[in-house]
Homo-oligomer: A and B are copies of this chain.
Amino acid sequence: MHKGETMLKKTVHHCAFALALIAAPAFAAQWEPLPEKAPEPADNPTTAAKVELGKMLYFDPRFSKTGTVSCNSCHNLMEGGDDSRPVSFGVFGKKGGRNAPTVWNAAFHSVQFWDGRAPSLEEQAKGPVVNPVEMGMPTLEDAMKRVRQIPAYREYFVKAFGEDNPMTVDNAAKAVAAFERTLITPNSPYDRYVKGDKSAMTEQQVRGMNTFAQVGCTACHSGPAFNGPKLPEGKGFFQKFPVFDNELIKKYGLDEDLGRYEVTKKESDKHMFRVPTLRNVADTAPYFHNGAVPTLEEAVRIMAKSQLNRDLSDAQVADIVAFLNALTGEYPKIEMPRLPATPGTTLVTE
């Protein structure tokens, strides 16, 4: 296992370099539609009861220090699953350091966060709750104490996890993760196109799709979610960013964040980031880990230059952007949850 991991990393490491050396086409991209269902871990099969509870927890701001920040505050399901901002605001107007990744189709990522530090959606769900610049709770237990003070939550935990001590941090995280596994967006023009509806994409989008493959974007942005090869949950697909330095990198400060190195402190992890999904990427501006790049055009130009050492023409950029717009899927309709009340009192006195 360990050896395999090392080899995988090496491959990943050198992949962008290798691609830059390959002359254009020759790259037979595998085009795959988004599955109708996200993968589930064996120890947390998705059930309707978990999804119902997880949805409530996801939207409930009362587990943040100030009672103002829920998962949905930064991963807004009424929008692209993010917050339109370069970096998010948490409690007390504190700003985060990285752009909020979209929660839509996050279930197709094998690790979570820009630096892949969470091996699962379950672990990811716990992070922001105790991050001082996000939800700002002192401990996860403090957050759970608040959940337990809301009488009607109990029945939902019992329904989802049984009578035996259901109201735990781990179960809350499992419920949120189960809900998030339902947040997938099938039937984009791209999906309909690769399933056979040749009218689903415009001519420009088809051209952009070919350019996308030919210039080498698919080296990393492959698979049904355009985030790399299918890996077991917990094993991340990372890439160095930037590989080739250039003036755009400096302009947007894109080399200031050491990425995964901040977690592992391993030299080889410097500037390594998880390869993000491109699903609904048109709805998740601004771009990159620092959210410094306001448009998709500029993001495409930067990726080509910094990862593939290519200068794209304006027409190529426009075509790829058109293609990326074809990755915007159908967002499921969601009924707002009713958050259980604390009749006659409040949990938030901050």
Contacts and interface: CB of A to CB of B under 8 A. Distances in A.
Interface of A: 59-62, 66-68, 73, 76-80, 83-86, 88-89, 91-94, 282-283, 285-286, 294-297, 321, 324-325, 328, 331, 333-339, 341-350
Contacts of A88: 68
Residue among A60, A89, A92 with max Cβ neighbours from chain B (10 Å)? A89
A86 B294 CA distance: 36
A72 B116 CA distance: 32
A93 B91 CA distance: 7
Most interface-central of A92, A93, A294, A336 (chain B CB within 10 A): A336
B80 A66 contact: no
A146 B334 CA distance: 25
Contacts of A333: 335-336
Given A78-B59, A78-B338, A346 B67 contact: no
Say whether chain A's binding surface is mostly helix, strand, loop, or mixed: loop
A64 B92 CA distance: 16
A67 B94 contact: no
Contact of A67 (B84, B338, B344): B84
B339 A336 contact: no
Nearest to A77: B336
Nearest to A342: B285
A86 to B, nearest CB: 7
Q: Which of A89, A91, A344 counts the most chain B CB atoms within 10 A? A: A344
A285 B85 contact: no
Contact of A282 (B60, B285, B343): B343
Copies of chain A in the complex: 2
A296 B341 CA distance: 13
Given A89-B66, A93-B92, A294-B345, A335 B337 contact: no
B73 A68 contact: yes
Nearest to A82: B346
Contacts of A76: 61, 339
A78 B337 contact: yes
Nearest to A86: B349
A67 B80 CA distance: 14
A26 to B, nearest CB: 29
B85 A66 contact: yes
Contact of A297 (B78, B336, B344): B344
A338 B104 CA distance: 14
Nearest to A295: B345
Contacts of A283: 341, 343
Nearest to A349: B294
Contact of A345 (B73, B91, B296, B344): B296
- Among all A-B residue pairs, the 10 with the closest Cβ atoms: A93-B93, A296-B344, A285-B346, A282-B343, A92-B93, A84-B348, A78-B339, A334-B336, A84-B346, A283-B341
A341 B78 CA distance: 10
A57 B72 CA distance: 17
Contacts of A67: 83-85
A83 B59 contact: no
A52 to B, nearest CB: 14
Nearest to A282: B343
15 contacts: A61-B76, A61-B83, A66-B85, A66-B89, A68-B88, A78-B336, A86-B348, A91-B93, A92-B93, A286-B346, A294-B349, A295-B345, A296-B344, A321-B344, A325-B343
